[in-house]
């Protein structure tokens, strides 16, 4: 790994973190880092303790009990870990069992049980996966997502679409039923959004004569004190995968919650975890200039604390990374948006996360980024080498303005746009940074997602807030439950 304190960290894989427009004179300075050096050192020690023991000072479960934090274990496939050789082997067997057998999968989940899974799907499959032939999908099923909102129209549309798929199957002379797998993801089994969609779709589609419905449950594995969904799966004979203790939903893309979706599409699980592992190993360095997660967290923490940069834009220059930005929304908001610090004092800490995509939002949000309130850090994601790269054709040679942009590969035009945006922002003291993936592969995706996850863990310690709880989410749930019961009693 090579790090330059003036501009960027570059890993051996080619992954880089360019912070030139975030650190230096007129930005976060060396003096700022020195001022917070003891806090940064303390945060690094906390990460070491977390890796070794799972203990994070001040962290309690939503029930108020001490709870280990185990997400940093997930990149390591070994006996006794949450991701073991046996668990990865079982995912591979599951993948083989649906290949060339299951026609479609509906994944029911919300929060981390949807957002991380959607990242893996988008990166591997792209937008038109469900329009491809079975052969083009290498025998893997079509994949649909539900349970991430309680939307009666979309749920009905999805049911009707499955029925239409089954009818097409019949029309093509298939002698077998349309095979539909429902993957329902909920640790408790009581998640309203997920379970309401699942129950509506399950009841509707299992009645259709030419659809064969099977269910896989991803839930708490505890056998002694079974959750609602675990008990249901046991009673119904559904196969199960685990939502493990010690891994909050926003970190579950690295465990069976996300990897089940990976298995459904033939995504390279081991390469993805290897990328996360490589990033974790680099981030064990005590030297801030050789630890991209520690540096990233420190620069953004100081930018917010001293310079008022309390909004954070994640802007990938790739359509299929928009869901990565949406995943990051939850990661940042739930991890760092906290009313209390670890001593119970009111601090109301956190930065507002914003989804953007280049070049789309250069025509939508950049006016605000460039000239609006001076409260933002804009982070770009760049892909250095694309696996396809059409050259812009000279389709209209007599139209000079269009002819002038011909002959340029689309990737280079995209990069010129990103660089121009970064330079324009920097010229107005608008902090920005860039993460570069050498290629859009499972390995490099693993590096990126893990760096971002570990960054919020570091920042939680720097800000003295619990980055692993989410008490604010429980507030609306306490109101919602009785309200639903009141509606039910009126209807009954």
Residue 376: burial class (beta carbons within 10 Å; 0-12, 13-18, 19+): buried
The reply to whether 363 belongs to the active site is: yes
Residues 38 and 159 in one domain: no
390-449: per-residue pLDDT in tens?
Answer: 999 999 999 999 999 999 999 999 999 999 999 999 999 999 999 999 999 999 999 999
Across residues 454-483, what is the average pLDDT?
A: 86
Compute how many other C-beta atoms are within 10 angstroms of the C-beta atom of residue 319.
Answer: 13
Which pLDDT score, from 0 to 100, does residue 11 have?
Answer: 96
Compute how many other C-beta atoms are within 10 angstroms of the C-beta atom of residue 50.
Answer: 23
Q: What percent of the chain has pLDDT over 70?
A: 97
Examine the pLDDT at 364 and tell me if it is beyond 90.
Answer: yes
Residues 210 and 308 in one domain: no
The last residue of one of the domains, among 235, 265, 295, is: 265
Whether 379 is in a domain gets the answer yes
Whether 490 is in a domain gets the answer no
Examine the pLDDT at 30 and tell me if it is beyond 80.
Answer: yes
Residues 111 and 178 in one domain: yes
Question: Domain holding 175: CATH number?
Answer: 3.40.50.10490
Residue of 135, 119, 158, 124 lying closest to 326 (CA atoms) = 119
Whether 69 is in a domain gets the answer no
Examine the pLDDT at 377 and tell me if it is beyond 90.
Answer: yes
Which pLDDT score, from 0 to 100, does residue 380 have?
Answer: 98
Examine the pLDDT at 98 and tell me if it is beyond 80.
Answer: yes
Whether 83 is in a domain gets the answer no
Residues 452 and 305 in one domain: yes
The last residue of one of the domains, among 265, 286, 312, is: 265
Please answer whether residues 344 and 464 qualify as being in contact, where contact means their C-beta atoms are separated by less than 8 angstroms: no
Q: What is the chain's mean pLDDT, rounded? A: 95
DSSP reduced 3-state for 210: coil
DSSP reduced 3-state for 252: helix
Examine the pLDDT at 105 and tell me if it is beyond 60.
Answer: yes
Which pLDDT score, from 0 to 100, does residue 113 have?
Answer: 96
The last residue of one of the domains, among 230, 265, 300, is: 265
Residues 311 and 392 in one domain: yes
The reply to whether 124 belongs to the active site is: no
Please answer whether residues 385 and 438 qualify as being in contact, where contact means their C-beta atoms are separated by less than 8 angstroms: yes
Residues 131 and 6 in one domain: no
Residue 121: burial class (beta carbons within 10 Å; 0-12, 13-18, 19+): buried
Tokens of 154: 């979309």
Residues 297 and 394 in one domain: yes
Residues 279 and 213 in one domain: no
Residues 451 and 315 in one domain: yes
Whether 299 is in a domain gets the answer yes
Instruction: Output b/e per residue, 324-356; b: 16+ Cβ within 10 A.
Output: bbbbbbbbbbbbbbbebbbeeeeeebbbebbbb
Examine the pLDDT at 227 and tell me if it is beyond 80.
Answer: yes
Q: How many domains does the chain have?
A: 2
Residues 283 and 252 in one domain: no
Residues 145 and 55 in one domain: no
Which of these is catalytic: 34, 41, 385, 477? 477
Which pLDDT score, from 0 to 100, does residue 487 have?
Answer: 76
Whether 85 is in a domain gets the answer no
Residues 210 and 323 in one domain: no
Which pLDDT score, from 0 to 100, does residue 480 have?
Answer: 67
Which of these is catalytic: 363, 400, 401, 488? 363
State which residues form the domain around 238: 100-265
241 strand-pairing partners: 218
Which of these is catalytic: 256, 334, 447, 459? 334
Residue of 110, 211, 221 lying closest to 169 (CA atoms) = 211
Whether 489 is in a domain gets the answer no
The reply to whether 334 belongs to the active site is: yes
Whether 132 is in a domain gets the answer yes
Residue of 296, 329, 295 lying closest to 312 (CA atoms) = 329
């Amino acid at each position: 790994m090579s790090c330059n304190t003036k501009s960027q960290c570059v890993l051996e894989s080619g992954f880089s973190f360019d912070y030139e427009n975030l650190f230096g004179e007129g930005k976060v300075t060396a003096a700022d880092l020195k001022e917070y050096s003891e806090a940064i050192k303390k945060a690094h020690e906390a990460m070491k303790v977390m890796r070794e023991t799972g203990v994070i000072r001040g962290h309690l479960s939503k029930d108020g009990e001490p709870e280990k934090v185990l997400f940093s274990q997930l990149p390591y496939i070994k006996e006794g870990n949450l991701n073991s050789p046996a668990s990865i082997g079982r995912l591979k067997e599951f993948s083989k069992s649906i290949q060339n057998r299951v026609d479609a999968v509906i994944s029911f989940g919300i929060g981390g049980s949807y957002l991380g899974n959607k990242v893996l799907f988008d990166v591997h499959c792209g937008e038109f996966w469900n329009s491809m032939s079975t052969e083009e999908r290498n025998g893997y099923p079509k994949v649909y997502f539900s349970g991430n909102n309680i939307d009666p129209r979309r749920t009905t549309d999805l049911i009707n679409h499955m029925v239409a798929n089954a009818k097409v199957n019949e029309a093509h002379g298939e002698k077998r039923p349309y095979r539909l797998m429902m993957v329902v993801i909920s640790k408790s089994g009581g998640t309203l959004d997920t379970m309401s969609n699942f129950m509506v779709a399950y009841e509707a589609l299992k009645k259709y004569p030419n659809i064969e419905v099977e269910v896989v449950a991803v839930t708490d594995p505890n056998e002694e004190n079974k959750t609602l969904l675990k008990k249901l799966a046991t009673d119904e004979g559904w196969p199960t995968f685990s939502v493990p203790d010690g891994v909050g939903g926003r970190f579950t893309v690295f465990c069976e919650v996300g990897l089940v979706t990976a298995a459904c599409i033939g995504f390279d699980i081991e390469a993805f975890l290897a990328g996360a592992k490589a990033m974790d190993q680099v981030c064990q360095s005590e030297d801030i200039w050789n630890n991209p997660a520690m540096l990233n967290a420190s620069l953004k923490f100081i930018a917010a604390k001293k310079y008022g940069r309390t909004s954070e834009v994640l802007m990938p220059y790739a359509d299929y990374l928009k869901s990565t930005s949406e995943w990051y929304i939850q990661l940042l908001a739930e991890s760092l948006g906290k009313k209390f610090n670890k001593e119970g004092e009111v601090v109301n800490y956190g930065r507002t996360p914003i989804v953007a995509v280049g070049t789309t939002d250069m025509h939508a949000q950049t006016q605000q980024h460039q000239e609006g309130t001076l409260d933002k850090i804009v982070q770009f994601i760049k892909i250095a080498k694309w696996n396809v790269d059409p050259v812009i054709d000279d389709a209209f040679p007599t139209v000079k303005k269009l002819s002038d942009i011909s002959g340029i590969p689309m990737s280079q035009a995209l990069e010129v746009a990103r660089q121009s945006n970064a330079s324009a922002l920097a010229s107005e003291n608008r902090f920005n940074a860039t993460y570069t993936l050498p290629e859009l592969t499972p390995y490099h995706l693993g590096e990126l997602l893990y760096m971002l996850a570990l960054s919020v863990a570091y920042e939680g310690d720097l800000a003295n807030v619990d980055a692993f709880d989410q008490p604010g989410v429980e507030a609306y749930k306490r109101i919602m439950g009785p309200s639903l019961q009141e509606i039910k009693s009126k209807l009954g």
